[in-house]
Amino acid sequence: MKNTKMIFAAALTAFALLMAGCGKAETSEMHMDLSDEKSAVITLDKSSKDVTATSGTFVVDDGEQLLVEPALEGDSKIQVSFIASPDEGIDQVPDIDGASVMDLDVDGTDTFYCSIDPGSYMLKVTVLNESTGTVTISAEAMETDEYMLFEKVSSAEEAAKGAGLDKFVLPMDAETDLGKVADVRDWMNFRYLSDFAQADFPMAAADLVVRKGPSSIDNGDVSGDYMEYAYEWTQDVNGTEAKCWGNKEGAAMKTIWTKGDYCYSITARGAGGEDDFGLSANDVAVWVNGVE
């Protein structure tokens, strides 16, 4: 399993368009088959950087998630953008010039899952590096567990063991702007998946999720967070670069960082649903310094 981070689509130098409602799009270097609206198979043969193909319609129903299965060679890398239909409903044809709801960078051969709101989407594929291979994207029924495939355990130690990690340590004695971490010990939940450990818990009026995984995962982003944010910045924490995102400058809703062979993330959401809540620079430093 892997996770990916969102980037904005770059300028395109080549373009191939298939009108929405049809099932296939292709150039001399890329072919996309989306015949049943639930599965897209993208085939690339030495596809040049910036070559683009667009096809629709891809439908995600309530209770479904995306399964992404790449089989790409070498340094191959593509971006798959999901362009939503208008607000009128799932049966409306997406606008090719519309803003993307989610952009996935896909490389390598590791299968992964991700969430997206139900709706009707047009897929736009952009080649980021010369690429050969296939990528299959399917809409599948979501696991009944809200954390999908993650297994629940009773401690950080068990999460580390289940994930196959050396350890998973939280800064329990740390004082943060949201309070002392140890004060929420009884409310912490721990989960794991192969290579991933997770802790989720409330602090003050916020819900936090901390993850640890191998640093080889898509440039160190194990957050599973595909939201678009108004701001992006970096913060130096004792020589470690923390990459932060949020809807208010200086309030980090998503933070990722890498230390040695492992990468880490923390996402923060206001319990009241505020879209501009986030961690202060001080709290970002606490987590970057304290999670191992």
Convert the pLDDT of each residue in 32-48 to its tens digit. 888 788 999 999 999 99
Q: Is 285 left (phi over 0), alpha (psi -120 to 50) or beta?
A: alpha
pLDDT of residue 118: 86
pLDDT of residue 270: 83
Which residues neighbour 224 within 8 Å (Cβ) at sequence distance 6 or greater? Answer: 3, 114, 115, 211
**Which parts of the chain have pLDDT scores under 70?**
1-28, 85-98, 142-149, 218, 272-274
- Residue listed under structure tokens 């904005």: 8
| Four-CA torsion 6, 1, 45, 43, nearest 10 degrees | -90
User: Contact at 8 Å (CB) between 243 and 253?
Assistant: no
Which neighbouring-strand residues pair with 240?
A: 237
pLDDT of residue 102: 84
C-alpha distance across the termini of the chain, in Å:
21
pLDDT of residue 97: 59
d(CA 234, CA 114): 25
Q: How many Cα atoms sit within 13 Å of 20 on the Cβ side?
A: 19
Instruction: Give 171-222 pLDDT, tens digit per residue.
Output: 999 999 988 998 888 888 899 988 889 998 888 878 899 999 988 876 778 8
d(CA 110, CA 69): 7
Architecture of domain 16-141: Sandwich (2.60)
In the chain, where are the structural domains located? Answer: 16-141, 151-290
In 3D, which of 33, 35, 55 has the Cα closest to residue 44?
Answer: 33
Strands 231-237 and 30-33: unpaired
| The pair of three-digit structure tokens given for residue 5, joined into one six-digit string | 């981070």
Per-residue DSSP letter, 184: G
pLDDT of residue 28: 61
User: Contact at 8 Å (CB) between 32 and 25?
Assistant: yes
- Residue listed under structure tokens 């709290």: 283
